[in-house]
Amino acid sequence: MEQQGLVKTSEGKHIYLRPVEMSDLDDYYAYLSDPTTSRFTGTQKVFSRQTAASWIEHISKPDSSRVDLMIISQATDRLVGEVVLNDIDPVNRSANIRIAIAGQANQGKGYGTEAMLLMLHHAFGTLNLHRVELSVYAFNDRAIHVYEKLGFKREGIQRDCLFLNHQYHDAITMSILEHEFRERHTPNSCNAGV
């Protein structure tokens, strides 16, 4: 059952995307505190409940440089992650995308692939962007596989950019251009779909 007052921005088969609400605080705080999520995002900050509430308040305000959407399970109406377009540059028609799926229980179910696809449709089909880039840690093989399946191309490596558990890790910079996305994912393309 959809929660009162919450609007689905984009809807897929297993998930939908919508703006964050203060009613998400418990799930969002748990998501921010999850060690698996923190490892894959490289987050080393410890969040308090108040910090999480302040961040929800911040990303709820209109900001033309970013689009923050929560990933919600169709089956449970519970938050399973977030997907964000940030650093939106209307002159160069570019942006950065980032995604995180909350905890191991929600990973490996296709939520991330579906959420990325919905957000990329928004980026290229609504915001008229030309380029979307991301950065992924080299140890995150599952995410790299998903990004390549979606059509992202590897562009370079940021060497030793994350220090985690007594070890340095590289990050891989990847991007997808509007024509690459449309060729692969729009209805009139022979290869439409994931």
Point out the residues that are catalytic.
147
CA nearest to 88, candidates 68, 66, 69: 66
Phi, psi of 86 (to 5 degrees): -135, 175
| C-alpha to C-alpha distance for 55 and 49, rounded to whole angstroms | 10
Name the region of 4 (left: φ>0; alpha: ψ -120 to 50; beta: rest): beta
What residue type is assigned to position 81 of the chain?
G
> Any idea how long the chain is?
194
Based on the number of CB atoms within 10 Å of its own CB, is 121 exposed (0-12), middle (13-18) or buried (19 or more)? middle
